[in-house]
Amino acid sequence: MIKLQLATDNYVELYFMDDKKRPFVLIAPGGGYNHTSPREALPIVEAFHENGFHAGIIYYRQTHLKHPDTTDELAQFVDLIKSNLEYPILKDQFVLCGFSSGGHYMASLGVMHQNYKINAKPDALVLAYPVITGKENFAHEGSITRLYSTINDDTRKDFSLELKVTEKMPPTFLFHTVDDQSVKVENSLFLFNALRKYNCTVDAHFYHSGQHGLSLGTKAVLRDEFKSNPEGYEKLHSHNQTWFKLAISFFNKIFE
């Protein structure tokens, strides 16, 4: 494992399978812009390794940066990783993967990478039940507060990534559960419609039911309330587990 750090307490851990050049996925766990969930960290690295991808985790809430410092720092980390010629990474197959608020964090660079003069462009995104919008009645209010300190019309608009999409958005894989009670499915729907408007490449998968924060939906990522019933957790999410294979198939297609 290689640890990278810039000017704050936030850091990246890189996990290279071997010295072979492979696609690379940088993972941002969810946590409401307050913390980073371990259920969406190392288990996701291991799943990508099993499918031939190098991977890393960004711990982006050790220091609680505000907007736009969050995206500025992420851009610097992406540039730092891409610019290191010793890393066994296919530089044109660099994926950002974000869960919940981590999806907003990663998608922020997806919609704004062209504003940076450094090598900060992701080649694809995977956004799992992502926080996207600031629209009242659909937004994850806590994420807005933690990123902007206050909620008003201006911060709601600036938080709303669906309003910032352009034709420069990288190919994007989206998945969400329709009955998500924490981050409403409209977050993904708003983004999907914006991507369609600009003819961006997008795969979107909406599952009829499933808990927010389901991660891989396997025994490896049990929620606390299922510690005594791991089989029940896997049964509950047996259909939703298919999102990961679909994401791998998406990447294999766009990178072929």
Report the range out of 152-161, 209-218, 234-243 with the highest average pLDDT. Answer: 152-161
Q: What is the pTM of this model?
A: 0.96
Residue 179 pLDDT: 96
Residue 155 pLDDT: 97
pLDDT surpasses 90 at 256: no
Homologous superfamily assigned to 2-254: Alpha/Beta hydrolase fold, catalytic domain (3.40.50.1820)
Residue 232 pLDDT: 85
Percent of the chain topping pLDDT 90 = 91
Mean pLDDT of 129-142: 96
Mean pLDDT of 37-66: 97
pLDDT surpasses 90 at 230: no
Amino acid type, 226: F
Phi, psi of 121 (to 5 degrees): -80, 125
pLDDT surpasses 90 at 252: yes
pLDDT surpasses 90 at 9: yes
Residue 55 pLDDT: 98
The string of pLDDT tens digits covering residues 164-217 is 999 999 999 999 999 999 999 999 999 999 999 999 999 999 999 988 989 998
Residue 236 pLDDT: 85
* Mean pLDDT score across all residues of the chain: 96
Mean pLDDT of 10-19: 98
Residue 58 pLDDT: 98
